[in-house]
Structures are given as structure tokens and as C-alpha cells.
Structure 1
Amino acid sequence: MSSHHIVREKQEPALIIANGEACSFELLGQLLEWSPFIVVLDNAIHRVIELGIKVDVLLGDFDHNINLTEIEQNQYPIEIIHAPDQEKTDLEKAFDLLITRGFPAVNVVWATGRRADHSITNMTNIVRYKSKLHIVLIDDYSVIYPLLPSPAVFEKWYSKGTPVSLIPVGSAVGIRTENLLYGLDNEELTLGYRAGNSNEAASDGVVRITYESGDLLLMECHD
């Protein structure tokens, strides 16, 4: 895959391809069109090569059989980064790499589906990076990203009825919303006890969300 667009590094989000459930080829192609820097995690490289995608970085602990020489020849030039730290997931290591290199934003695909433990870890761990890197997890059914607490204000235009779910990671306190069907006014959400799933835009227009402290994910999901 190649892009005919002029895409400048660090002016568009980087792209991380993890090793979970694949998204549609159409969605992946749309993201690749605007991605100046592509990082693939560990054994996902074999699936990426099968799709004919050229990448910039292969990163992982490489604790499974992987022929790096063959991959280097197939993807030349490619930067191969061995990251053996077992205290972090490969996805977290990729976030660290992008932060170190000055990228402000990244889209992530193939990070959900397949193993449930990997999916929930990937979805919740992104809150740790919310002040350093704008992260968006994307699959065929969902767009997921963390919101920053006050004084930041989330504002986005939605058409009436668009699903908008607010999912706390731990607890999120002092949540206020405008233009959601089920509004929140200085309320608290706690994972496992009270979440804000299956809300929706009350009318065509801007939805506004603020919260005082904690960690809060916004999920735009569809069937």
C-alpha cells in the first residue's frame, strides 16, 4: 500500500498495528493513507507482510520464533527494535517510543478482539499516556480514546442518536455533560458499579464533556 497524499511526519498521527483481531482492509487502508510512521508489534509483522504493507518499525520482545533477517530483507529499510522489558506490553513500549520521538498522536489498530485479557489491558492502559500522547484505538465497530480532566473540555459535533459511551477506568469524578440523552451533572462513574455506556447524542449538535479527576474513556461504538 502507498499513499498519493503529501503526509508530513508528526503532523499526522502515527499508526501502530498490534496483534489482535484484524480490522477491515478498507479501514486499514484509510488509516495508512494518512500515516507518516507505521509501527508493527512483534508477530503481527507476518500478517502485515501478507497484506503487502510497508512499515517503518518492528518492535517487540521477540519471544516467539521470528526470522528477523528475512523480515529485514522483505521490508528494507526497516528499523527493528528489540524491547525485552516484561514489565510493559509491546503496545506500551510502542507508545514510549513515539513519545520519545516527539509524536503527538497515534491511531492503533488490531488492539482489540481475540484474547479478552489483551483487549481489556490495551483499552485501559491508554489512560496512563493521556497527558503525553493522543491515543485512539480503532476497530470496525469502535473508536476509543481517553478524555483529559478539567480544565480540558471535550467538544465534538454528533448527529442525534449517535452512541456515545463514557467508561471509567477505576473511577471518574465530577462528570458534567451537555447534549447527551442521559445527562450527568457533577456525577461519578466507577468501573464495575456504574458506567455511562449506551448513552447517545440528544440532538444534532455539539456534545460537551468535562470531569474533575480520575480516568475516563469515550467510546463511539456501533453494531
Structure 2
Amino acid sequence: QIINTSNLSTFQPSNFPTFQSLMSSHHFVKEQQEPALLILNTAGISFDQVAPLLEWVPTLLVAQEAVPVVLSWGIKIDLILAEMEFQKSNYHLLEEQYPVKFLGVQGDKFLDEGLQYLIASKHGAVNIIGLDHLKVFDLEPMLEFLDIVVWDGPIRYFPIQNGQFKKWFPETSIQLHAPEGTILEIQNPEGNEIVQVKYATFIEVEEGTTIIKGKGNFWIGEFV
């Protein structure tokens, strides 16, 4: 059992559809075609960074700590990940922000509960805002079910699972993020080099196509 729907709280006056009917509606299905957006923390994040991710009206999940800032941006939230005390203190949000719902969280497991919800509701991809990039390796078991991009400050991180990455870049810096000591081969118009990954390993790439090869999973950090 991936998710216990009894943890979901919603305001349901008699003239509004139930949660079950919302789940089966065309609108909900359409939303699942776009990457969901999971906001865990807004520290160091501006609305301008988030706005492009909202263009196609994704399903929006927000952890309780980030709710005041997200609401101040004027964004409609679909699901608030919240501990019981927050739910009791903010039950008015279910009416004021209808059809927002609460999903109960225990033990600070906002990320885990959010991802489990997305998997259970058949989403295929998610952008995660406000997760420390050092924790991206903890997400790798979920990559079987979700395409994941992590936004940490000015950098977005995406996983490479097949051992090879190829992309055209302007002249820029990118971060190689992998377990300490991982060996990666870099190929670009300036030639080839071998890099041993250490903490916060940044490389300069020239304009053109860059190819990165390695064994196992690794992540690329790109400035946005």
C-alpha cells in the first residue's frame, strides 16, 4: 500500500464534488501529463524562479513550512503536506483555498509522503523545490517510478541513469554530482578529460555539445 487516503482532509460542502470524483475527472488526468511541482522550502527561492514551472498548471504540493510564502505568490495549492497540529490550526484553508486538501505527515517525512502520493496518483514526473542537493542520492530508488528534477537555489539537478549524458551548452559552468571518487569522462569541442568527482565539482564547458560518461548513476547541476 503506497498511500493511505484516510490521511487526506478536504472541505466538501454538498454542492461540491467529492475527492473521489476529482480523482477521476478529466481535469485531474490532464494535470498528470505535466510534471508535478513539490515545494518543500522557499528559502533562497523567488517567484520568478518558480513561475516558468507553473505555466502548464501542474499539480502543486506544498509542505506546511512553505505554505505562507506560496500563498503570498497568489498560487492555488492542490495539496498541503501537513502535520496534525498544522492541520488543526489551519483548517480554514480547506475552505478558503478550496479544493485544496491536507495530506497527513508524521516525523518530518514531507518529501517521502509527497513522492508516494505522486506515484499513487499516476504522475510520471516532478520538479522538487527546496531540497538540499546533497540528498539527491536518496531519491534514486524513486527514479523507477518518477522523472525527478531538483531545484536547489540557482541550480537544477537532474539524474543520468544510463551512464551517458549529451547536451549542447553555451559557454558555462556545470556541476558534476556523484558519490565521492566517481570517475567521469568529459568530451567536448576542446577535447577529452577525466574528472574524479569531489564535493561541489564544477567544470567549465565551452560552447557546443558536451558528452559525459561514467559508471552508475550521476547527477548534473545546471545554472538557471
Is the TM value for this pair above 0.5? Answer: yes
| 1:43-122 mapped onto 2 (5 Å cutoff) | 43-62=65-84, 67-84=89-106, 86=107, 89-109=109-129, 111-112=130-131, 119=132, 122=135
1:77: Cα distance to partner?
A: 0.7
State the match for 1:116 in structure 2.
Answer: none
* Larger Cα-atom Rg: 2
Secondary structure (helix, strand or coil) at the match of 2:144 reads coil
Q: 1:124-166, CA deviations, whole angstroms, 9 ceiling, x for partnerless residues?
A: 433342332121122552111222143xx3222101x211111
2:213 equivalent to 1:210: yes
Q: 2-side partners of 1:181 and 1:123: how far apart? A: 30
State the match for 2:187 in structure 1.
Answer: 178
State the match for 1:4 in structure 2.
Answer: none
1:14: Cα distance to partner?
A: 0.7
State the match for 2:222 in structure 1.
Answer: 220
State the match for 2:175 in structure 1.
Answer: 165
Q: 2-side partners of 1:180 and 1:134: how far apart? A: 29
More helix by share: 2
Instruction: Report the TM-score when normalising by structure 2.
Output: 0.73
Q: 2-side partners of 1:170 and 1:94: how far apart? A: 28
Q: 1-side partners of 2:95 and 2:191: how far apart? A: 55
Instruction: Report the TM-score when normalising by structure 1.
Output: 0.74
Q: 1-side partners of 2:152 and 2:180: how far apart? A: 23
Mapped contact 2:87–2:102 kept (Cα < 8 A): no
Mapped contact 2:124–2:146 kept (Cα < 8 A): yes
Equivalent pairs: percent with the same residue?
24
Instruction: Tell me: CA distance 1:66–1:188, structure 2 relative to 1, closer, same or farther (3 Å).
Output: farther
1:182: Cα distance to partner?
A: 8.2
- Stretches of structure 2 lacking an aligned partner (at least 5 in a row): 1-28
2:132 equivalent to 1:143: no
Q: 1:66-99, CA deviations, whole angstroms, 9 ceiling, x for partnerless residues?
A: 6231111121011211022x3x731122112112
State the match for 1:156 in structure 2.
Answer: 167
Mapped contact 1:144–1:217 kept (Cα < 8 A): yes
